[in-house]
């Protein structure tokens, strides 16, 4: 994908995903691909600057970070920072893509506020049923069309959908089950506290917690050919970052070279998938930008054309990388 100038982005919501996106834009090789023109969050600027500088998962930012007068100063770059609760009251006429990262978009009216503020496009960092379309790179990005409000689905959907698309296209998927072993998130309390879910009311860092996942429903939306063919579940586990998928799939046919060799070659050719032969643990995959890293030593042939697959994904860093990729794709339309 080529671009004549950096994509101008604004981040609404400077939480886990918003700050991770900013880190990638400001401190990696992607800094020449994007211009961060605005950050908006209702939290105080000094706290946001502190949390950007010192990150419990990714470590301290390797550069200078200070809070200025209405701006976040990073390595000499002055990024305007606003605390507007209603983003439609801002002037976003210079923004190519608004990255909606509050996690609070539950209606189209909220998503449309970015367009009302004159942003050209809005990309939502999570499931959003009222978006124009839900897209996952490596799965259905060819369906983008002229959509202005796009959901980037969930981190788990980004992890499994490209792999399932690959397997279904090449080998055919008859049915299967996918479990995600997911690190705890801000949706869970640190100590037992009432929430809408009984299990998720338990302390997130003290137990393995069986729960649900939206990923299988989203896969059916992103890949209609698989709708109704998959079940899914989740277990929240007491680690702070990096999650995994564990899938058992019944295939229509088996690759002549064997499933391990097939997946190794296919992942090497994919822009969003990777594979490893190393015996790794979750912390080894922190900061990896791929949507999924298939663990080749964990592959099993369970029965005739039935396989068990496992893969790792950094649910923050990898998902944030896909947000930026999708922003580039949306901006690349003439």
Kindly state whether residues 305 and 187 are assigned to the same domain: yes
Strand 71-74 to strand 97-100: parallel, antiparallel, or no bridges (unpaired)? unpaired
Same domain, 109 and 165: no
DSSP state of 94: T
Catalytic residue among 48, 62, 101, 155: 155
Question: How many domains does one find in the chain?
Answer: 2
Q: Is 292 exposed, middle or buried (0-12, 13-18, 19+ CB in 10 A)?
A: buried
Q: What is the pLDDT of residue 252?
A: 97
Cβ atoms of 134 and 141 within 8 Å: the answer is no
pTM comes to 0.95
- The pLDDT score that the predictor gives to residue 173 is 98
Q: What is the pLDDT along the chain (334 residues), one digit of tens a residue?
A: 455 799 999 999 999 999 999 999 999 889 999 999 999 999 999 999 999 999 999 999 999 999 999 999 999 999 999 999 999 999 999 999 999 999 988 788 899 999 999 999 999 999 998 999 999 999 999 999 999 999 999 999 999 999 999 999 999 999 999 999 999 999 899 999 999 999 999 999 999 999 999 898 999 999 999 999 999 999 999 999 999 999 999 999 999 889 999 999 999 999 999 999 999 999 999 999 999 999 999 999 988 899 999 999 999 999 999 999 999 999 998 6
On whether both 93 and 207 belong to a single domain, the answer is: no
% helix, strand, coil for the chain, step of 5 = 30, 25, 45
Catalytic, 101? Answer no
Is the domain of 108 the same as that of 172? Answer: no
Torsion 64-66-69-70 (CA) sign? positive
Gap between the Cα atoms of 98 and 114, Å rounded: 7
Pairing of strands 230-237, 173-183: parallel
Is residue 207 classed as helix, strand or coil in its secondary structure? coil
In a domain, 37, yes or no: yes
pLDDT confidence of residue 235: 97
Backbone conformation region of residue 172, classed left if phi is above 0, alpha if psi is from -120 to 50, else beta:
left
Give the pLDDT of residue 214.
87
Q: What does the pLDDT read at residue 226? A: 96
CATH number, domain with residue 107: 3.40.50.720
Quote the domain boundaries for residue 98. 7-125
* Cα–Cα distance, 135 to 165 (Å, whole number): 13
165 and 300 in a single domain? The answer is yes
Distance, in Å, from the CA atom of 108 to the CA atom of 118, rounded to the nearest integer, reads: 16
How far is 332 from 132, CA to CA, in rounded Å? 18
Whether 34 is covered by a domain: the verdict is: yes
């Amino acid at each position: 994908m080529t671009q004549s100038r950096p994509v101008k982005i604004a981040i609404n919501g400077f939480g886990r995903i918003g700050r991770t996106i900013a880190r990638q834009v400001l401190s990696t090789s992607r800094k020449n691909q994007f211009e961060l023109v605005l950050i908006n969050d209702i939290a105080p600027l000094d706290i946001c600057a502190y949390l950007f500088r010192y990150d419990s998962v990714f470590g301290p930012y390797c550069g200078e970070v200070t809070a200025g007068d209405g701006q976040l100063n990073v390595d000499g770059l002055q990024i305007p920072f606003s605390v507007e609760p209603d983003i439609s009251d801002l002037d976003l006429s210079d923004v190519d893509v608004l990255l909606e990262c509050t996690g609070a978009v539950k209606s189209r009216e909220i998503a449309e506020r970015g367009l009302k503020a004159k942003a050209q496009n809005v990309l939502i960092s999570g499931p959003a049923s009222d978006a124009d379309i839900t897209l996952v790179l490596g799965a259905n990005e060819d369906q983008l069309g002229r959509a202005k409000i796009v959901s980037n689905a969930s981190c788990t959907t980004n992890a499994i959908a490209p792999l399932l698309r690959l397997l279904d296209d090449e080998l055919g998927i008859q049915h299967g089950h996918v479990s995600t072993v997911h690190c705890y998130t801000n949706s869970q309390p640190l100590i037992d506290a009432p929430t809408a879910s009984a299990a998720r009311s338990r302390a997130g860092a003290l137990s393995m917690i069986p729960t649900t996942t939206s990923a299988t429903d989203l896969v059916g939306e992103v890949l209609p050919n698989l709708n109704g063919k998959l079940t899914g579940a989740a277990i929240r586990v007491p680690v702070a970052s990096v999650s995994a998928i564990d899938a058992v799939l019944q295939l229509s046919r088996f690759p002549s070279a064997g499933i391990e060799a097939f997946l190794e070659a296919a992942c090497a050719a994919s822009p969003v998938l990777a594979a490893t032969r190393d015996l790794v643990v979750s912390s080894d995959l922190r900061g990896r930008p791929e949507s999924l890293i298939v663990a080749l030593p964990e592959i099993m042939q369970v029965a005739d054309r039935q396989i068990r697959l496992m893969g790792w994904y950094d649910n923050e860093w990898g998902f944030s990388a896909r947000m930026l990729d999708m922003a580039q794709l949306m901006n690349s339309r003439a």
